[in-house]
């Protein structure tokens, strides 16, 4: 039975995952090499809990209990002691994840389940660097984690039925809806979503329509809660590019080739909300349209 969980990475996804586990009564070790990142992560969790208290979704005691369930660590070895599950939520970088999982297999007990929040990288490839491929699995949470119900549960080639079933049940205990999928590039969510976003960027790049026009068509015509270009800004254009590159490399199909405009924007540091500018200009979470000429480069 899973009672103690370690989360690797205190960024947007990591602190959200830690928040959800802690709120549901799990003891959580939040691990990051940066003390400042840990402080920001806990501050974000506290802010989100305050918002929930204000909306009367939880009580002040619930908030206090959630925060008491979280302990921060800058040492992975110290943070993973006595846990039954580790959820890695580091940057979407293959080499970094392989390094983390190789280390985790060395510093955790042999029966500890190792999960990754990767949005596109092969679970089988990650599992191959560990000493327990049967206990490696994908838990792809959606952003923002405390709000979004879906968790993609991705089975690697060697993931056992026992581990898969336990992680499915654990996800349900988090009040999430787990969906089991197999290990192919992009899984389900990003295999469908990212080519759509990429096509929206191509549509902009070719001058078919402007940013607001493209997003408005998809919001009003297809009932999407936000347009694909705004969503790309929210996800991070660097993340979108990384996922498209995984799809392109994994399938070898030209339809997955990243749009040159996306490549140029990432190269120029225009990453969306996180950098303050992408397809929109972002100030304190609010957006303004950027001059259309910027997108003809």
By annotation, the residues acting in catalysis are: 119, 140, 152, 190
Q: Is 252 marked as binding a ligand?
A: no
Q: Maximum Cα–Cα distance for the chain, whole Å? A: 56
Q: Is 90 marked as binding a ligand?
A: no
SS in 3 state form for the chain? Answer: CCCEEEEECCCHHHHHHHHHHHHCCCEEEEECCCHHHHHHHHHHHHHHHHHHHHCCCCCHHHHHHHHHCEEEECCHHHHCCCCCEEEECCCCCHHHHHHHHHHHHHHCCCCCEEEECCCCCCHHHHHCCCCCHHHEEEEEECCCCCCCCEEEEEECCCCCHHHHHHHHHHHHHCCCEEEEEECCCCCCHHHHHHHHHHHHHHHHHCCCCCHHHHHHHHHHHHCCCCCHHHHHHHHCHHHHHHHHHHHHHHHCCHHHCCCHHHHHHHHCCCCECCCCECCEEEECCEEEECCHHHHHC
Q: Is 16 marked as binding a ligand?
A: no
Q: Is 109 marked as binding a ligand?
A: no
Q: Is 11 marked as binding a ligand?
A: yes
Q: Is 32 marked as binding a ligand?
A: yes
> CA 267 to CA 280: how far, in whole Å?
17
Q: Is 103 marked as binding a ligand?
A: no
Q: Is 63 marked as binding a ligand?
A: no
Q: Is 143 marked as binding a ligand?
A: yes
Q: How many other CB atoms are there within 10 angstroms of residue 9's CB atom?
A: 25
Q: Is 97 marked as binding a ligand?
A: yes
Q: Which residues are annotated as a binding site for NAD(+)?
A: 9-14, 32, 92, 97, 119, 143, 274
Q: Which residues are annotated as a binding site?
A: 9-14, 32, 92, 97, 119, 143, 274
């Amino acid at each position: 039975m899973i009672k103690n969980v370690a989360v690797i990475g205190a960024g947007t996804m990591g602190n959200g995952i830690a928040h959800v586990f802690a709120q549901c009564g799990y003891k959580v070790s939040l691990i990051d090499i940066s003390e400042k990142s840990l402080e920001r992560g806990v501050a974000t969790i506290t802010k989100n809990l305050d918002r929930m208290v204000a909306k009367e979704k939880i009580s002040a005691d619930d908030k206090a209990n959630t925060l008491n369930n979280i302990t921060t660590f800058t040492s992975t070895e110290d943070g993973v002691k006595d846990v039954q599950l580790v959820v890695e939520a580091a940057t979407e970088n293959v080499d970094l994840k392989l390094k983390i999982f190789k280390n985790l297999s060395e510093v955790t007990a042999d029966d500890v389940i190792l999960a990754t929040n990767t949005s596109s990288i092969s679970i089988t490839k990650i599992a191959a660097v560990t000493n327990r491929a049967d206990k490696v699995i994908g838990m792809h949470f959606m952003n923002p984690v405390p709000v979004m119900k879906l968790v993609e549960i991705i089975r690697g080639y060697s993931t056992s039925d026992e581990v898969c079933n336990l992680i499915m049940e654990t996800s349900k205990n988090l009040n999430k809806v787990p969906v089991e999928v197999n290990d192919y590039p992009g899984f389900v969510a990003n295999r469908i979503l990212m080519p759509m976003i990429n096509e929206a960027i191509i549509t902009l790049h070719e001058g078919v329509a402007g940013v607001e026009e493209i997003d408005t068509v998809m919001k009003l015509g297809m009932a999407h809660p936000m347009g694909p270009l705004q969503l790309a800004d929210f996800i991070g254009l660097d993340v979108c590019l990384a996922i498209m590159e995984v799809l392109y490399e994994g399938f070898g199909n030209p339809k997955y080739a990243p749009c040159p405009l996306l490549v140029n924007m990432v190269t120029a540091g225009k990453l969306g909300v996180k950098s303050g500018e992408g397809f929109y200009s972002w100030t304190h979470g609010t957006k303004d349209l950027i001059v259309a000429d910027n997108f003809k480069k």
